[in-house]
Amino acid sequence: MEGSAVRKGVEDSNRSTCGGAGRKGLRTLLVSLAIGSAVALGGCAGRPGTDALAVNVTPEAGAKPVKVLVATTRMRDANPGVLFNGERSEKLDFASVTLTVPPTHKTGQIEWAKQGAGNPATDMVVRDAVYRDTEAQFLQELNADLAKRPKGERDVFIFVHGYNTQFSEAIFRLTQMTHDADATAVPVLFTWASRGKTEDYVYDNNSATAARDNLEELIKLVAKSNAERFSILAHSMGNWVTVEALRQMRIDKSLPDPKRIANIVLAAPDIDVDVFKSQLRRFGKPEKPFVVIVSHDDKALKISDLIAGGKQRLGSYSDDKELVSLGAVVVDMTDVKSDGDGLNHGKFAQLAGLRSQLRQTLEKTATSGTIPASVEMDQIRITGITPAMAGSMPGGTTKPVTATTATTTTGAAIATSGATATPQ
């Protein structure tokens, strides 16, 4: 969206009075932003159809299966092609969904069906979808999936999506990232009640806030499982849910053993920078640094800045050194060309396809004798690498940017469990 159009929307909203007029002004602004987003996205393929998750058993030899376990605060939907809608449930619900990725799949892309259940030769399709009614059933299936993996690879990857995300979009994105990263971890989707509508920003924000305790519940369930380690990736507004849940667990001393937490990745966080600083002051410096993925050209976060009264969002913050001092590793993707995302808000989805290269870069850094303050790879700049983080990756090359001797001994691997991303 052009800056003048954004400014006009904000001015119109500011001229509105309290009550209904104020809400109308905000709604007008958000609808304007939705139109601008559609223009910015240009040739995007739209959104999944209402039957996109209908089970399709048509054989396709070249399709690759991905099984996703689901924990959600969404209501179940009567339409089997939807599974879960955008309304809030009073308790955590569960499901198990197996999808396949078509043989024609392109890295970083989601081939969802525009109508019906799709064609497994060209689309991501659902092969099986089953609701799980209790925590015990979810935990039993999670342990069964972990047992299929060899010891040393029994990991869980939890993905928390952002604002304006339908259930179908969230599960398709996690499927794509798991496939592209060739991840061995069990993918678990934590999906809160986003309506998937741009004009429902406030509803989504409240849904995210209401889901904090439920994410804490899921983390405790995973900690009770036979998982050796687990990671969390949050995107956009999903970071608010995630950091708040972790903060509360730290306060009540229920956070799992840090040795079992492979990494916490905050991608394009739609969090006020001052709020994040306050959260970390209460949380304390994490035993393993949070990985914060930023992009200074993220247009979606610029819009969020305006809605929030001009306060900068964490996902576009430029003071890497300050974030490192708070306990973060900063992955700056500003110079990376966005693949099909006109808002530059989903760049981190491309990291899954670079997982092997990232491992190589960090291993080379670990064996170089000194740990540089920053390293660069394919226009991605990583600041605040620690020896443990770098040493957890096997083999490769690096381009040092600013050399310094590292003295810290803790860290977190960015790509150990694999995936990253979703739409808004």
Span 319-332, pLDDT tens digits: 999 999 988 999 99
At residue 304 the predicted structure's pLDDT band, cuts being 50, 70 and 90, is confident
Residue 378 φ then ψ, to 5°: 50, 45
The pLDDT, as a whole number, for residue 347 is: 80
Kindly report, residue by residue over 79-101, the tens digit of the pLDDT.
999 999 999 999 999 999 999 99
Q: 121 forms bridges with which residues in the sheet?
A: none
CB contact at 8 A, 371 and 365: yes
CB contact at 8 A, 196 and 86: yes
The pLDDT, as a whole number, for residue 204 is: 96
Q: What is the mean pLDDT of residues 250-277?
A: 94
Report how far residue 327's alpha carbon sits from residue 334's, in angstroms, rounded to the nearest whole number: 21
Q: What is the mean pLDDT of residues 228-246?
A: 96
CB contact at 8 A, 270 and 313: yes
Asked if pLDDT for residue 341 goes beyond 60, the answer is yes
At residue 3 the predicted structure's pLDDT band, cuts being 50, 70 and 90, is very low
Name which of 6-15, 157-166, 250-259 the model is least confident about: 6-15
At residue 355 the predicted structure's pLDDT band, cuts being 50, 70 and 90, is low
Q: What is the mean pLDDT of residues 98-111?
A: 94
The pLDDT, as a whole number, for residue 422 is: 34
Residue with tokens 């687990």: 230
Q: 380 forms bridges with which residues in the sheet?
A: 377
Query: Rounded mean pLDDT of the chain?
Result: 81
Q: What is the mean pLDDT of residues 51-74?
A: 96
Kindly report, residue by residue over 363-395, the tens digit of the pLDDT.
666 566 666 778 888 888 888 877 666 544 333
Bigger pLDDT: 135 vs 421: 135
The pTM for the full model equals 0.82
The pLDDT, as a whole number, for residue 416 is: 32
The pLDDT, as a whole number, for residue 407 is: 28
Asked if pLDDT for residue 10 goes beyond 50, the answer is no
Give the chain as a 3 state SS string: CCHHHHHHHHHHHHHCCCCHHHHHHHHHHHHHHHHHHHHHHCCCCCCCCCCCCCECCCCCCCCEEEEEEEEEEEEECCCCCCCEEEEEEEEEEEEEEEEEECCCCCCCCCCCCCCCCCCCCCCCEEEEEEEECCHHHHHHHHHHHHHCCCCCCCEEEEEECCCCCCHHHHHHHHHHHHHHCCCCCEEEEEECCCCCCHHHHHHHHHHHHHCHHHHHHHHHHHHHCCCCEEEEEEECCHHHHHHHHHHHHHHCCCCCCHHHEEEEEEECCCCEHHHHHHHHHHHCCCCCCEEEEECCCCHHHHHHHHHCCCCCEHHHCCCHHHHHHHCEEEEECCCCCCCCCCCCCCHHHHHHHHHHHHHHHHHHHHCCCCCCCEEEECCEEEECCCHHHHHCCCCCCCEEEECCCCCCCCCCCCCCCCCCCCCC
The pLDDT, as a whole number, for residue 423 is: 38
Rounded to a whole number of angstroms, the distance between the first and last alpha carbons of the chain is: 15
Q: What is the mean pLDDT of residues 401-410?
A: 30
Name which of 32-46, 112-126, 284-298 the model is least confident about: 32-46
At residue 306 the predicted structure's pLDDT band, cuts being 50, 70 and 90, is confident
Count how many Cα atoms sit within 13 Å of the Cα of residue 97 in the half-sphere of its side chain: 31
Asked if pLDDT for residue 411 goes beyond 90, the answer is no
Looking only at the bridges linking them, the beta strands covering 229-235 and 186-191 are unpaired
Looking only at the bridges linking them, the beta strands covering 125-132 and 84-101 are antiparallel
At residue 421 the predicted structure's pLDDT band, cuts being 50, 70 and 90, is very low
Taking the CA atoms of 20, 21, 23 and 24 in sequence, report the sign of the dihedral they define: positive
At residue 286 the predicted structure's pLDDT band, cuts being 50, 70 and 90, is confident
At residue 310 the predicted structure's pLDDT band, cuts being 50, 70 and 90, is confident
Kindly report, residue by residue over 213-227, the tens digit of the pLDDT.
999 999 999 999 999
